[in-house]
């Protein structure tokens, strides 16, 4: 059975590894919810400083450029907040410092729905396997959401215990729910297009790929364009 999520959560937090990840993973959903009045925040764990094949690029310059690109995308999507943790790209560790930081953001923003990468999705056909930072972010986020943020004796210095209701994991091989993004697919494509440092050409290929992926999910969901997620009901 296809489950289409129609309800718009009041407060949303999306936690991803790199500056372009939220837009690629769930930009249509974030735009739809922000447009419907939700307070949508995005947390980006690393600075993205290694995201290039060009050995002559200065990593600090690239990190700055990518933050600018992400800021541009955030304005397009109508985000309420975009926050950078600034960990070194490619070196994110699922340690208690990262989990404490994620817990503090969850307790501070009190989101009903949290989005992040599905860390169990490793191999996507023969062409791609999931980036280490994505897997690390996904597992750290899951552990931060349950039980850590909900129980007061975990990281007591990180704020008052809070349980998010729902986690939606993107980039999953086992989607269980979909969000209809037909009305915001153009916003998603525009947001992904902001990350000019991440494609060698004018980005036409990326724009087509984003559209095709959402169209494929749309077919599974019975709508024009969709984004699919593994849903976890955490309580609340």
Pairing of strands 39-46, 123-124: unpaired
Of the CA atoms within 13 Å of residue 27, those in its CB half-sphere come to 30
**Which lies closer to Zn ion via its Cβ, residue 99 or residue 195?**
195
- Least distance in Å: CB of 178 to Zn ion? 22
Which residue bears the tokens 């050409």? 201
Residue 20: CB minimum distance to Zn ion, A: 6
Q: Which is nearer to Zn ion, 75 or 132 (CB)?
A: 132
Query: From the CB of 205, what's the least distance to Zn ion, in Å?
Result: 17
Which two tokens mark 230?
A: 């593994």
8 Å CB contact between 66 and 21: no
Measured from the CB atom, is 70 or 185 closer to Zn ion?
70
155 conformational bin, left if phi > 0, alpha if psi -120 to 50, beta if neither = left
Of 48 and 111, the one with the shorter C-beta distance to Zn ion is: 48
Binding site for Zn ion (CB under 5 A): 17-18, 21
Looking at the Cβ atoms of 135 and 231, the one nearer to Zn ion is: 135
Q: How far apart are CA 6 and CA 33, in angstroms?
A: 10
> Residue 36's CB: how many other CB atoms inside 10 A?
13
Q: How far is the CB of 115 from Zn ion (least distance, A)?
A: 14
Residue 151's alpha-carbon distances to 11, 52, 100, 159, 196, in angstroms, are: 20, 40, 12, 11, 41
Query: How many other CB atoms are there within 10 angstroms of residue 220's CB atom?
Result: 12
Assigned token pair, 66: 């990518």
Query: Nearest distance from residue 75's CB to Zn ion, in Å?
Result: 21
């Amino acid at each position: 059975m296809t489950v289409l999520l129609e309800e718009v959560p009041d407060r949303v937090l999306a936690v991803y590894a790199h500056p372009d990840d939220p837009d690629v993973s769930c930009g249509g959903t974030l735009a739809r919810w922000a447009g419907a009045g939700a307070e949508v925040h995005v947390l980006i764990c690393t600075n993205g400083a290694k995201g290039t094949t060009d050995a002559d690029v200065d990593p600090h310059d690239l990190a700055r450029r990518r933050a600018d690109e992400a800021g541009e995308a955030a304005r397009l999507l109508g985000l309420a907040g975009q926050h950078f943790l600034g960990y070194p790209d490619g070196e994110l560790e699922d340690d208690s410092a990262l989990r404490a930081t994620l817990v503090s953001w969850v307790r501070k923003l009190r989101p009903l729905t949290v989005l992040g990468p599905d860390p169990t999705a490793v191999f996507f056909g023969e062409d791609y396997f999931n980036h280490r930072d994505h897997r690390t972010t996904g597992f750290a986020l899951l552990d931060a959401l349950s039980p850590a943020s909900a129980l007061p004796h975990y990281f007591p210095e990180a704020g008052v215990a809070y349980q998010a209701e729902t986690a939606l994991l993107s980039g999953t091989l086992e989607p269980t729910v979909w969000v209809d993004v037909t009305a915001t697919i153009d916003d998603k494509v525009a947001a992904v297009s902001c990350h000019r440092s991440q494609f060698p050409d004018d980005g036409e290929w990326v724009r087509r790929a984003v559209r095709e992926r959402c169209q494929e999910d749309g077919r599974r969901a019975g709508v024009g364009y969709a984004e699919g997620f593994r849903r976890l009901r955490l309580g609340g």
